[in-house]
Amino acid sequence: MRLIDDWRLVLRKAWSVKFNVAATLFGAAEVAVAIWKPEGMPNGVFAGGAAAVSIFANVSRLMAQKELHGNDK
- 15 pLDDT tier (thresholds 50, 70, 90): very high
What pLDDT is recorded for position 71? 52
- 70 pLDDT tier (thresholds 50, 70, 90): low
What percent of the chain is predicted at pLDDT more than 90?
A: 58
- pLDDT of 73 strictly over 50: no
Q: Where are the alpha helices (DSSP H) in 7-44?
A: 7-13, 15-36
- 68 pLDDT tier (thresholds 50, 70, 90): confident
| Bigger pLDDT: 7 vs 69 | 7
Domain boundaries, the chain: 6-69
CA distance 26 to 21: 9
